[in-house]
Amino acid sequence: MKKLINELLRKKIGIEIRKCKPKPNAITLKPEGISKGDVLLAYIIDPFLVEDESLISNHHTNHWESYLIAKAFLQMGYTVDVISYLDDKFIPLKNYSVFVSARIHFERIAKLLNNDCIKIVHLDTAHWLFNNSAVLRRSLGVQQKQGVTLASFKFIEYNWAIEYADCATVLGNQFTADTYQYSKKPIYRIPISTCNLYPWNTDKDFEECRHHFVWFGSHGFVHKGLDLVLKAFANMPEFHLYVCGPISDEKRFEEAFRKELYHTPNIHTVGWIDVDSDEFLDICNRCVALVYPSCAEGGGGSVIQCMHAGLIPQVSYESSVDISDDYGFILKDFSVPEIMEKARFVSGLSADKIEQMSRKSWEFARANHTRERFFDVFKQTMGTIISDKDSDI
CATH number, domain of 271, equals: 3.40.50.2000
Q: How confident is the model at residue 154 (pLDDT cuts 50, 70, 90)?
A: confident
Q: Is the pLDDT of residue 204 over 50?
A: yes
Shared-domain flag, residues 358 and 377: no
- Judge whether 136 lies within some domain: no
Shared-domain flag, residues 71 and 106: yes
Q: What is the mean pLDDT of residues 267-278?
A: 95
Lowest mean pLDDT of 56-60, 68-72, 266-270, name the range: 56-60
Q: How confident is the model at residue 393 (pLDDT cuts 50, 70, 90)?
A: low
> What was the pLDDT predicted at 249?
94
Q: How confident is the model at residue 5 (pLDDT cuts 50, 70, 90)?
A: very low
> What was the pLDDT predicted at 224?
96
- Judge whether 144 lies within some domain: no
> What was the pLDDT predicted at 4?
43
Residue 161, Cβ density class (10 Å: 0-12 exposed, 13-18 middle, ≥19 buried): buried
Range of the domain at 166: 2-128+154-193+370-392
Shared-domain flag, residues 310 and 380: no
Shared-domain flag, residues 377 and 358: no
> What was the pLDDT predicted at 334?
83
- Judge whether 57 lies within some domain: yes
Q: Is the pLDDT of residue 141 over 70?
A: yes
Q: For 155-194, write each residue's pLDDT tens digit.
A: 899 999 999 999 999 999 999 999 999 999 999 999 999 9
At 375, is the secondary structure helix, strand, or coil?
helix
CATH of the domain at 101: 3.40.50
> What was the pLDDT predicted at 24?
44
Q: What is the mean pLDDT of residues 40-59?
A: 88
- Interatomic CA distance for residues 346 and 328, integer angstroms: 9
Q: For 296-332, write each residue's pLDDT tens digit.
A: 999 999 999 999 999 999 999 999 999 999 999 999 9
Shared-domain flag, residues 235 and 113: no
- Judge whether 142 lies within some domain: no
Q: Report which DSSP code applies to 55.
A: G
- Interatomic CA distance for residues 229 and 241, integer angstroms: 9
Q: Is the pLDDT of residue 60 over 90?
A: no
Pairing between strand 289-292 and 312-316? parallel
Q: How confident is the model at residue 216 (pLDDT cuts 50, 70, 90)?
A: very high
Shared-domain flag, residues 185 and 249: no
Shared-domain flag, residues 380 and 328: no
For residues 280 and 245, is the Cβ–Cβ distance under 8 A? Answer: no
Shared-domain flag, residues 39 and 186: yes
- Interatomic CA distance for residues 312 and 293, integer angstroms: 14
Q: For 331-386, write each residue's pLDDT tens digit.
A: 998 899 999 999 999 999 999 999 999 999 999 999 999 999 999 999 999 999 99
- Judge whether 308 lies within some domain: yes
Question: Given CA atoms 357, 360, 362, 365 in this order, what sign does their dihedral have?
Answer: negative
Q: Is the pLDDT of residue 50 over 80?
A: yes
Shared-domain flag, residues 175 and 252: no
Shared-domain flag, residues 39 and 102: yes
CA distances from 76 to 29, 117, 125 (A): 13, 17, 27
- Interatomic CA distance for residues 190 and 378, integer angstroms: 6
> What was the pLDDT predicted at 391?
67
Q: Which residues pair with 291 in a beta bridge?
A: 314
- Judge whether 140 lies within some domain: no
For residues 194 and 302, is the Cβ–Cβ distance under 8 A? Answer: no
CB crowding 30-46: b at 16 or more within 10 Å, else e = bbeeeeeebbbbbbbbb
For residues 209 and 286, is the Cβ–Cβ distance under 8 A? Answer: yes
Q: What is the mean pLDDT of residues 257-280?
A: 96
Which pTM was predicted? 0.90
Shared-domain flag, residues 257 and 340: yes
Question: In the chain, pLDDT over 90 holds for what percent of residues?
Answer: 87
- Judge whether 9 lies within some domain: yes
Q: What is the mean pLDDT of residues 280-300?
A: 96
Shared-domain flag, residues 220 and 351: yes
User: 215 or 389: which carries more pLDDT confidence?
Assistant: 215
- Judge whether 143 lies within some domain: no
Total domains, the chain: 2
